[in-house]
Amino acid sequence: MSAGQESPALGGKPTMLLTGGGGLVGRNIQAHPGAANWHILAPRSAELDLTDAGAVDAYLARHQPDLVVHAAGRVGGIQANMANPVAFLDENTAIGRNIIMGAHRAGVRQFLNLASTCIYPRAAENPLREDMVLTGTLEPTNEGYAIAKILALRLCEYIRREDEGAQYKTLIPCNLYGAYDKFDPKHSHLLPAIIHKVHQAQKNGETSVEIWGDGTARREFMYAADLADAVLRAAADMASLPDSLNIGLGQDHTINDYYATVAEVIGWDGTFTHDLSKPVGMKQKLCDTARQQDWGWQAPTSLRDGIAQTYRHYLESGYA
């Protein structure tokens, strides 16, 4: 079956190869109603080792997907990135190169690469525009991961430069939260960590919760199901996408705002204290969404609704 051709054996649906199908983004893509329009292959690492170029080539030759959505990668927080910089650079570089070049060699004409806002310079002026990539020094704590993501983005751009018909494009999502997130305090990112912390305070009858720093640092968090919505919109019309596109809200909130909204959703009416001795990170990290607006898409879920749905998942998942 050539790329773009529907397979009668698969009910006329085009085939999507989704890497990272077991992660936050991958699981939200598969749970989205639009996923029903695709025959989705989502092999776990035991079935397909993305660091093995030969295995990737063989898988692509066997299945001949119409589209690859690349959401896989070695991910982790600041401590993990700082402790294992070799692995974060080497594994993510290998994964990105193998799946992109493997797809290109296999004649796959549509490839949707997912990057991260860590590809932007640490001192870049907010909001962050797509043309700011490689205009300054990266954040040192996750530099290896960022370099690998930049390599994948540029590789897609270079393939298009040599072959205009190849729809190899990149989405750059802002911070995410949502169903299938990690709530374990040792591994969770900001919003699931806040949900866990405030829930535990309510459960244990605590009247105060501590916030690191003064809580004025601003962050942009999007509900992961909304990214899935953007991915499936792009998958249906790859030609309409620019080569690289931020996917975000175009607005941010303070850390204090996130704590207050979580407390409201959970129904905890205690007070917050601030530990000013703790690190707070960058003061702001906000995506420019002008290209996204031109593309005609915006995130449909409000912060309160997204947190409420994530909290429901938290309770149902047994973390509480």
Instruction: Name residue, tokens 């290109």.
Output: 104
The SS3 of residue 84 is coil
Residue 168 to residue 112: CA distance in whole angstroms: 6
Buried b (16+ CB within 10 A) or exposed e, 21-55: bbbbbbbbbbebeebeebbbbbbeeeebbbbebee
Cβ atoms of 29 and 18 closer than 8 Å: yes
Cβ atoms of 159 and 213 closer than 8 Å: no
Cβ atoms of 82 and 125 closer than 8 Å: no
* Cα→Cα distances 184→82, 131, 268, Å: 20, 36, 20
Active site residue 145: yes
What's the chain's Rg over C-alpha atoms? Answer: 20
Residue 289 to residue 128: CA distance in whole angstroms: 9
Alpha carbons within 13 angstroms on the beta-carbon side of residue 90 total 5
The 10 Å Cβ neighbour count of residue 12 is 9
Per 3-state DSSP, what percentage of the chain is helix, strand, and coil (rounded to 5)?
Answer: 45, 15, 40
Q: Which of 120, 145, 177, 180 is catalytic?
A: 145
Catalytic residue positions? 145
